[in-house]
Amino acid sequence: MLAMGATAMEEGNVLVVADLFLDGRWPHGDVEYVYAPGNVWAVGAAFWALGPSVLVERLVGLAYRALLIWGLYRLARPWGRGTATVAALTAWVLLAPFGLFAYPWLCSLALLCAGTALVIDGGARRSTAVGAGLLGLAVFHQVVLGPAVLVVLGTEAWRTTRARRRRLATGLAGGLS
């Protein structure tokens, strides 16, 4: 999966726009791009660190999948480790046929799942702010996930303490900025 050439138009779009981003061209301003800019920035940062290539872009896609599977595992953990493991393995089996390229939607879903898991499990610890930050990044990657993020953060803010609300707000502001 890592060694195959770029095969889909969407993958080519991510590769080209991220490479142009490194040259100083902005998505939506200088280059047409149909998604929110978060994915271009993530792949562009990987290109800056490791050099532009299909392999680097696929490694970013692998990281997206790992984050999604980890988030699903954390969300299913209250029903037992066996259930959580089955949920994570099922997610991998369902994702494998799509290859490893860095889908913008997959990244946003991974951030949404991982952020939700951290917010729900966070209590009053730092993981609450980190989870809210991941939820903010999910919106930065796919704006249409804003209502889902509001549902997660709204219900958590409604049923929690004032100090935890501050952590949620701080994390969300950090993720959106």
Output the pTM of the full model: 0.87
Residue 4 pLDDT > 60, yes or no? no
For the stretch 40-57, pLDDT in tens is 889 999 999 999 988 999
Residue 158, CA atoms < 13 Å, CB-side half-sphere: 6
Span 155-161, mean pLDDT? Answer: 88
Straight-line distance from the first to the last Cα atom of the chain, in angstroms, rounded to the nearest whole number: 34
- Integer angstrom CA distances of residue 91 from 11, 56, 72: 21, 23, 8
For the chain, domain boundaries? 9-176
Q: Is 100 helix (H, G, I), strand (E, B) or coil?
A: coil
For the stretch 20-30, pLDDT in tens is 888 777 766 77
